[in-house]
Structures are given as C-alpha cells and as structure tokens.
Amino acid sequence: MIFDHIHNAFLYEAMHPLFAKAFDYLRSTDFERMENGKYEIDGDNLSAIINRYTTEPADMRQWEAHRTYIDIQYMVTGEENMGVAPLHTMKISKPYDNENDYFLLNGEGVEQTVKPGFFTIFFPTDVHKPNLIASSANTILKVVLKVKMETSKALQLCFASNNKYKLDEIRLLLSDDRIQLNTMQDLGVYDELSETGDTLEYNAWQKANHLYVYHGFNAFADDTGLEVEALGGRPGVHSARYAGEKAVSQENVKKLLQNMQGVTQRRARFRTVICLILNAAEYRFEGQVDGVIAETPRGEGGFGYDSVFIPNGETRTFAEMSTAEKNTISHRKRAIEKMVSFLKEEFLKGEPYYEKD
C-alpha cells in the first residue's frame, strides 16, 4: 500500500504507464460537481468511480482485494479510516469474482485515517477495508480510480506448488517464452493447498482448482506417485506421506525398502498427473516412466524416491543423474511436454515467440 498527499503524486507516476494520467485526472477534475457513478477515462484500462456515502463501523464492512485492477482511492471531502493488511496473513471467505474483480477475506489488519487531499494505492497484494468511521460517522465524497494491471504478452500460468525441486525441474522444461510460469509466492499467495484425494487425478485438480476459484489464476498442478507392482501399486497417491503425515523423503524410502525386503520382482513406475485449469476449462495430462526399485539408495541428486528408482534402460538411479539427464526421460517431463504441446496447438498457434528481458 502507498499512502500520500496528492501534491506528492508525481513520485509514483513511473510505477505504471497510466499513473500519470490517473493523477492528472484527480488534480484537474471538480468532483463536487459530478454525480455518483462510473466514468471511463481510458476504456477499461482506467476508470473512475465517484461515490458519496456515510462511514460505518468496522464490523459492518468486509476485507476485500483485487486481481486485475489497482485501486487509487482519493478522498475529496470527509474523513474515514481504511483498514489494510498483507494478503498472505488473511483467509479467503468468498472466492474470486472474475466479472467484478474482487474477493473477500477474513483476518486482522491496521487502520489508517485518510483526510481530504490524501490518496491510497492498493495493489493486488494489499487487502483493504475502506469506508470506516474515523473520529465519528460522516459523509464522504471519494473517487476510486481503477487502473488495470499491466499484463505480459506471454500466457500467464501459476504452478500450484511450493516444492522447490519441482519448480526447478519445471522451469527447465517450460522453455517457451510465450508461457510465463509464476509461483504462488510470485503472485502473493501463501495458502496451504490440500491433497486429500484418493487418486493423483483428484489431488492435482484440487490444487489447481483452489488457485482458479479463490484467486482467479489460470493454474496447473501436478501430483506424482511411485507405484510398485509387488506392493499392489503402493505407495501411489500416498507417496509423499508413506511413512506418516510429516515424513521426510529418507523415512519414506526406508519404509519402502523395508516392505520390499526379500522381494525379487521389483518392477515399479513413476506416474505424474497434471491438471490445468485455463479460462474455467479443465485439462488433464499424464506421464509415466517404468523401472525397478534398487536394493539400496544410491546418488545425491533429485528428491523423493529418486535414490531407489532405476528407470528402464539405465543402470543408475534418478538420484545419480544430473537434472538435465533426468529431465530427458522423467515422468514429469512427459506430462509437461503434453501440456505444452496442447497449449501451443490450442492457445498459442500463430503467436510469435517473445524475447525475454
């Protein structure tokens, strides 16, 4: 959030191509002669909402945030408090409304008193609760400028994971400049994503759907399982928590090898399922690689069960390979290649490659 007086607005004009036009509008317009309503300034890129209202107690107002537009809220007459809080400290109470560009949240924040001539800038990571009583209830005349966020020419996708190793792998695989991969942290989202399903397919959908429904992001998520034939497909969907809900990779590997003691038929496969939610439509992609389970862990690279999985045609485990070598044959690579091929064919056909900055 930025809070300042209109006399200092020039300090912020370089932050967005439309900020200079927005502040010129605030400085040059006599809002007291205008009726309440919405006024276009630059099509849907920049508009003004003029509103007169009476301030209310905090418990009668709700926390809100936006995705597509930045708010510049300018006080013309009257005085109010505005609540503000960082997005990652709040809990969503109403999913993102794409048509009206807002979602509602619950949580705690701080209040800032805003008097005539002052403005606040709320970015998408700034949760706010405006229209609050300051010293006493009074009538307000306020202008809210809606400034459309700058968008990249690339197709924006959010990857629904906080797993650093997966992110590193996928960044290498998503080499097309027309697809921009954002992490949850890049977009100011710190939600815990649930994986409560009995299948890889459900878990992948559950995570991608959360980001689309609650935050309005085109998103994709994966879920991967190691399926061991002699164990009836286990650990499968429970691979990440095979040895317990808070188990680390070494504990999962140890339990797997214990359950495989004396087993000579050691065939297994890694299987990745990706769910992509793009403009409300759902798509699914799958990749797998077959191999065998090693007798003991080998190698220092990779993560999860990589130290005990030997892909067919290899004598090394995934953990003994470099990331580049693993990516030439990995299950995740195969699933992502299918997704990228689909995106190129269905959404990026005819679009030129863009040079990176």
Exposed, middle or buried, 193 (CB in 10 Å: 0-12/13-18/19+)? middle
| Torsion angle (degrees, nearest 10) of CA 17, 22, 23, 29 | 150
How many other C-beta atoms are found inside a 10 Å radius of the C-beta of residue 41?
17
Exposed, middle or buried, 294 (CB in 10 Å: 0-12/13-18/19+)? buried
Secondary structure of residue 128 in the 3-state scheme: strand
Secondary structure of residue 7 in the 3-state scheme: helix
Within 8 A by CB and 6+ apart from 345, the residues are none
Longest dimension (CA), the chain: 87
**For residues 273 and 284, is the Cβ–Cβ distance under 8 A?**
yes
User: Which residue in 212, 248, 222, 216 sits closest to 161, CA to CA?
Assistant: 222
Show which residues are catalytic: 223
Amino acid code (one letter) for 73: Q
